[in-house]
Every structure is written in structure tokens, then in C-alpha cells.
Amino acid sequence: MLRSLYISLIYGVFLFGGFVAPFALGLGYVWVDTFSPQNVAYSILNAFPVSEVMAVAAILTYLLLDRKSPPGLNLVTVLVVVMAGWVTFTTFNDPVRPVDAFGKWDWAIKTIVFSLFMPAMFRSRVQIEAFLQIYVFSLAGQFLPFAGKTILTGGRYGASFGLVEGNGGLAEGSHLATVCLMIIPILFHLRRYTVILPRLPIVKLGYVGLAVACLAACIGTFERTALVGLVVVLLGFLLRSRRRILYGAICAGLVMAGSSYVATSHNEWVTRMKTIGSFSQENSAFERILIWQWTLDFVKTHPYGGGFNAYLINEIKLPGTKEHPEPIIDKGRAFHSVYFEMLGEHGWVGLTLFVSLFAVSFLTLRSAAIRAKRLAGMEWCHDLARALQISLMVPLVCGAFIGIAFQAEIYYLFALAVMMRHQVRAAERIERAAPKPAFYDRRPALGSAAAA
């Protein structure tokens, strides 16, 4: 009961804090959407729709009280709006499983729509950092228990070490590992540029500790997707580091130490990682190949997709084994890939929109990083845009093996790309409006981000 009261108090603080600072309601929605307090509390919060209440309050408060300096129209926002319209069309235009399609649309559309409002709610550096801090610490509630149990036991495939149990959301190993890897670049950015928390050694050490916990949780899931994503993050940091050899040696040492610790505790980790190169002999990997083949055949007759949860009608034939010589018919197997999820549910149009969102967001972040480098005082924006590029690459690669196309973490990255673009444009307007000396030199001043 005390846990429920404590969590309910936090919810109330966000809810009523919005009347003082409207963007606090947006922070509250991020906390609810990420931490899922209704699944942790024993009572009170699980008795009413906490997510819907917070989302509606945040959007209404913004529209009524806080419509200041909204970001201009951009291609990322346009693509998200089109995505929202298209998935709604496929949901109500003769889906193959109408009831199941509406059930997934009901929560997916909320994720998409709220991501449209986030750049308008979080407009300043402090607001953006507040969003990142709430997001990171909300996720910490999910991955810290997993990391701690991994360090104590060595981890285990399919283990329910997290805050909540189940086979969906952050309770699922591949999803948790992907999200942990996505926030590591953000953690290192906050360690260097935080303005909300004091830049004390203990605070910096805390961010490093959270990054180590992310790695521990990632490895402890025993997911092959985690290993692929870890390579992406390490390469991203390595390519953007000035001391590449030193950094590469440190990263390699940490990964080898972590994997060695898990491997000595459980040979299962090494065995699972080896199956990456032998998918045809590994049942779960081979099953995914068959599901993807079914999806390609399905869209030949359903080019617009079958609507949300269309996978429920699939049927694949697995070859027999020594114990069971007869072929095994398996039905209703998930897509296990964001790309085939989009293709099977929303057709070629949906897949094109989804890939375009990644590409445009990446280019938007790249442009923001380049332009911020030329602006004095915008080092934080330059660094964050580069960090988010690494974060964006994780679901782009890991998503090939897990179906998380409509999870909020991906759409938060799209929204952050718009925020970075808005910050750079605002800084450029201020610089253009500032009075120039008589002999104005357009070269970066000494001590500016460009000179540094």
C-alpha cells in the first residue's frame, strides 16, 4: 500500500505541477509511458487510465496556456502526420483482424500523436534536458533491477529480472536491450552538459554507473539482438571519438570483461551468440525467415497491408526434427522485425514512411550538428545531435529482428530531431538579429564551438 501511495503522489505532483509549468504535464506523460506506474502500484493508479489522463491534460494545457514559439513545419513532422493518417486508414479499411487491429491502433496512435506535440512542449535547453532526465530515470527503474540481478547471477535467457513481468514492452529481453543501448549516448551527453543537476564528480560518476548498468542488462538478456546493437553503439562512439585507438581499446576491454563474466556463469550465452551465423539450424531464427517469406507473399495480394496485428492469420510450416519427424504447422507468429511489421500491417506505403522517418530524422540531426558547431554557446546542441544519431542507429539495426515499430522510444527520437532543428534555427535568428561590429568577421570567434 505504501508503494501505491508513493507512486500516486509522484503522479499527482506531475499532474498539478502542470498548472504552474505546463510542460511538466508532458514530463508526466513521459514518466507514465516509460515507467508504467499502473503496472507497479498495487492499487489506486491501476484503477483508472493514468496514461490517457496525463496525455489529454498535457495536450489541452499546451493548447490553452502554452502556445509559445512552436517549431516551424518540417519534413519529420509531416511524415509523422502522414504516418498517423495512413495507419488509421489501414485500421478501418477492411483489416484482416478488425478487433485486434483496433486494439493495437488504440495505443499506437497515442504514441504517434503525442510525439507530434513533444517539440512544441519542450522548446528550451532546460525543458529538453528535463525531458531527457525524466526519460532516462524512468527507464532506470526498468533496467536497474535487471542489471543488478545479472551481476549477481550472470543473467539468463528469458529471465524476468526487470521491474515488471511478461513478454511485451520492456519486460521482453530484446526490447529492453535495444532501449538500454539507445540511451547510452544520451547518458554520456548528460554527464558532460547537464544544467539541471550539479556537475559534481559524484553526479558524473552516476551517469557512468547507469551506462554500465545498461551494458550489464543488455548482456544479461542473452539476446542476439543485444550483441548486434552493442556493436552499433561501439562503432558509433568509435567513429566520433578523437582518441579512437584509446577509446576502442577501453570499449573492447569492457565488452570482453562483461561477456567473459557472463560466459563463465552460463555457457548458454556463448552458445546463443554462436547461432547468429547458423540461423538455418536454429529454430527461432529459421522460424523468422519463414515468417518474413510469408509476409512477402501476403503483400502481393494485400499491397496496403492487412492492418494492425495482421500476423495473427499467418501459417508457416517448420521442418520436422528427429523427435518429431512430421512437419510442424505454426500459426499466428509475430513478425519479429519492424520492417516486416510495417510491411505486413501497413503495406509498402507504411514501410516507405517508416524508413523515410529514420532517414529524414538522421539527416535533420546531422544538419543540426553541423550548424550548431558554427554557433557560439551551442556546443551542447551539437553534442546532443551527434549522440542522438548513434541512438537512432540502434533501433534501425536492432529493429530488423524485433517488432517495435510503434514503441514510444522510437518516436521520441523523431521528436528530438525536430527539437534539435528548432534550437539551431532559434539560435541562428538570435545571431542574425544581434548588432554586428563595424568590421564584422564571419569566421568563428576564438573559444566558440567551431574553434574548439
* pLDDT at site 258: 58
Q: Which domain holds residue 54?
A: 1-67
Higher pLDDT, 107 or 330: 107
Higher pLDDT, 338 or 68: 338
Q: How confident is the model at residue 223 (pLDDT cuts 50, 70, 90)?
A: confident
Nearest to 193 by CA among 408, 442, 10, 383: 383
Q: What's the whole-number mean pLDDT along residues 216-237?
A: 87
CA–CA dist 272, 414 (Å, integer): 33
Angle between helices 23-35 and 50-65 (to 10 degrees): 160
Say yes or no to pLDDT of 439 above 60.
no
Residue 28 counted as domain residue: yes
Residue 29 counted as domain residue: yes
Q: How confident is the model at residue 107 (pLDDT cuts 50, 70, 90)?
A: very high
Higher pLDDT, 88 or 244: 88
Report residue 418 as a C-alpha cell: 525536430
* pLDDT at site 321: 67
What are the Cα distances from residue 198, in Å, to 121, 125, 201, 383?
Answer: 24, 16, 9, 19
Residue 285 counted as domain residue: no
Residue 39 counted as domain residue: yes
Q: What's the whole-number mean pLDDT along residues 380-400?
A: 95
CA–CA dist 452, 444 (Å, integer): 10
* pLDDT at site 326: 75
| Number of domain units in the chain | 1
* pLDDT at site 452: 37
Q: Which residue has the cell 519479429?
A: 336
Residue 3 counted as domain residue: yes
Residue 380 counted as domain residue: no
Q: Which backbone phi and psi does 315 adopt, to 5 degrees?
A: -150, 120
| % of the chain beyond a pLDDT of 70 | 81
* pLDDT at site 80: 97
